[in-house]
Homo-oligomer: A and B are copies of this chain.
Amino acid sequence: MAHAIRFLSVDAILKAGEGHQGVPLGMAELATALFAGELKFLAADPTWPDRDRFVLSNGHGSMLLYALLHLSGYAKIGLDQVKSFRELDSHCAGHPEYDPAAGIEATTGPLGQGIANALGMAIAEAYLNARFGDGIVDHMTWAFVGDGCLQEGVGQEAIALAGHLGLGKLAFVWDDNRITDDGSTELSISENVADRFRVAGWHVVEIDGHDLRAAAGAFAAARTDPRPTLIAARTTIARGIPRLQGQRGGHSAKLYETDRADMAALFDWAATPFEIPDTITEAWRAAGRRNAQCHAAWKARLEALSSEDRAVFERTMAGDLPAGWCQTILAAKQAALADPSPRFSIQASGDIVSALYDEVPEIFVACADLEAPTNHKRHLAAFARADRAGRYLHCGVREHVMASLANGMAAHGGIRPAAVTYLAFSDYERPAMRMAALMGLPVVFVFSHDSIGIGKNGPTHQPVEILAALRAMPNMRVIRPADAIEAAEAWEIALSRTDGPTSLIFARQQLPLLRRDATAENKSARGAYVLADATGGERRATLLATGSEVAIATEARTVLQERGIPTAVVSMPCWDLFGAEDKHYRRMVLGPSGVRIGIEAAVRFGWDQWLGPDGDLVGMSGFGASGPADALYRRFGITPEAVVSRTIKLLGEN
- Which residues does A use to contact B, with CB under 8 Å? 16, 18, 59-60, 86-90, 93-95, 97, 107-112, 147-149, 151-157, 160-161, 163-164, 180-183, 187-192, 195-196, 199-201, 367, 369-373, 382, 394-401, 424-425, 427-428, 430-431, 434-435, 437-438, 455-461, 464-465, 468-469, 471-475, 603-606, 608-609, 612-613, 620-623, 625-628, 631-632, 635
Is the pair A465, B459 in contact by a Cβ cutoff of 8 Å? no
A430 (CB) vs chain B CBs: closest residue: B427
A196 (CB) vs chain B CBs: closest residue: B199
Q: Which residues of B lie under 8 Å from residue A111 when comparing CB positions?
A: 397
A634 (CB) vs chain B CBs: closest residue: B88
Cβ of A200 to closest chain B Cβ, rounded Å: 5
Cβ of A380 to closest chain B Cβ, rounded Å: 13
B152, B187, B438, B456: which contacts A460 (Cβ < 8 A)? B438
A609 (CB) vs chain B CBs: closest residue: B608
Is the pair A626, B88 in contact by a Cβ cutoff of 8 Å? yes
A188 (CB) vs chain B CBs: closest residue: B396
Q: Which residues of B lie under 8 Å from residue A398 when comparing CB positions?
A: 151-153, 188
What are the nearest 5 A-B pairs in CB distance?
A: A153-B153, A88-B627, A188-B396, A93-B626, A156-B156
A157–B622 alpha-carbon span in the complex (Å) = 30
B154, B160, B394, B474: which contacts A622 (Cβ < 8 A)? B474
Is the pair B622, A151 in contact by a Cβ cutoff of 8 Å? no
How many subunits of this chain does the assembly comprise? 2
Q: Which residues of B lie under 8 Å from residue A90 when comparing CB positions?
A: 626
Q: Which residues of B lie under 8 Å from residue A156 when comparing CB positions?
A: 153, 156-157, 160
A382–B164 alpha-carbon span in the complex (Å) = 37
A192–B457 alpha-carbon span in the complex (Å) = 31
With A472-B603, A605-B606: A109-B370 Cβ-Cβ less than 8 Å: no
**A-B residue pairs in contact (CB < 8 Å), sample of 11:** A86-B456, A97-B459, A151-B397, A152-B428, A153-B398, A153-B401, A163-B191, A164-B190, A181-B369, A182-B369, A199-B199
Is the pair A395, B188 in contact by a Cβ cutoff of 8 Å? yes
A433 (CB) vs chain B CBs: closest residue: B427
B190, B394, B431, B473: which contacts A465 (Cβ < 8 A)? B473
B182, B196, B612: which contacts A196 (Cβ < 8 A)? B196
Cβ of A539 to closest chain B Cβ, rounded Å: 18
Is the pair A191, B199 in contact by a Cβ cutoff of 8 Å? yes
**Counting chain B CB atoms within 10 Å of each CB, which of A427, A603, A609, A623 scores highest?**
A427
A111 (CB) vs chain B CBs: closest residue: B397
Q: Which residues of B lie under 8 Å from residue A370 when comparing CB positions?
A: 181-182
Q: Which residues of B lie under 8 Å from residue A97 when comparing CB positions?
A: 458-459, 626
A158 (CB) vs chain B CBs: closest residue: B153
Q: Which residues of B lie under 8 Å from residue A435 when comparing CB positions?
A: 460
With A458-B95, A603-B474, A606-B472: A153-B152 Cβ-Cβ less than 8 Å: yes
Is the pair A431, B438 in contact by a Cβ cutoff of 8 Å? no
A456–B111 alpha-carbon span in the complex (Å) = 17
A33–B236 alpha-carbon span in the complex (Å) = 51
Known pairs A95-B458, A156-B157. 15 more at Cβ < 8 A? A86-B627, A87-B627, A88-B631, A89-B627, A182-B367, A190-B200, A191-B199, A192-B199, A427-B434, A465-B472, A465-B473, A468-B469, A468-B605, A471-B605, A475-B622
Is the pair A188, B425 in contact by a Cβ cutoff of 8 Å? no
Q: Which residues of B lie under 8 Å from residue A147 when comparing CB positions?
A: 397
A604 (CB) vs chain B CBs: closest residue: B609
B89, B109, B149, B396: which contacts A151 (Cβ < 8 A)? B396
**Counting chain B CB atoms within 10 Å of each CB, which of A89, A157, A474 scores highest?**
A474
**Counting chain B CB atoms within 10 Å of each CB, which of A161, A183, A397 scores highest?**
A397
A471–B474 alpha-carbon span in the complex (Å) = 16
Cβ of A215 to closest chain B Cβ, rounded Å: 25
B59, B187, B196, B631: which contacts A394 (Cβ < 8 A)? B187
Is the pair B88, A632 in contact by a Cβ cutoff of 8 Å? yes
A434 (CB) vs chain B CBs: closest residue: B427
With A188-B161, A201-B190: A456-B16 Cβ-Cβ less than 8 Å: yes
A108 (CB) vs chain B CBs: closest residue: B460
Q: Which residues of B lie under 8 Å from residue A399 when comparing CB positions?
A: 152
Is the pair A107, B472 in contact by a Cβ cutoff of 8 Å? no
Q: Which residues of B lie under 8 Å from residue A164 when comparing CB positions?
A: 188-191
Cβ of A271 to closest chain B Cβ, rounded Å: 26
A161–B190 alpha-carbon span in the complex (Å) = 8
Is the pair A461, B109 in contact by a Cβ cutoff of 8 Å? yes
A249 (CB) vs chain B CBs: closest residue: B372
Q: Which residues of B lie under 8 Å from residue A401 when comparing CB positions?
A: 153
Is the pair A199, B188 in contact by a Cβ cutoff of 8 Å? no
Is the pair A182, B371 in contact by a Cβ cutoff of 8 Å? yes
A148–B153 alpha-carbon span in the complex (Å) = 13
A625–B88 alpha-carbon span in the complex (Å) = 7
Q: Which residues of B lie under 8 Å from residue A457 when comparing CB positions?
A: 60, 94-95, 109
B200, B424, B626, B631: which contacts A94 (Cβ < 8 A)? B626
Cβ of A58 to closest chain B Cβ, rounded Å: 11
Cβ of A91 to closest chain B Cβ, rounded Å: 10
Q: Which residues of B lie under 8 Å from residue A613 when comparing CB positions?
A: 612-613
Is the pair B151, A621 in contact by a Cβ cutoff of 8 Å? no
Q: Which residues of B lie under 8 Å from residue A373 when comparing CB positions?
A: 181
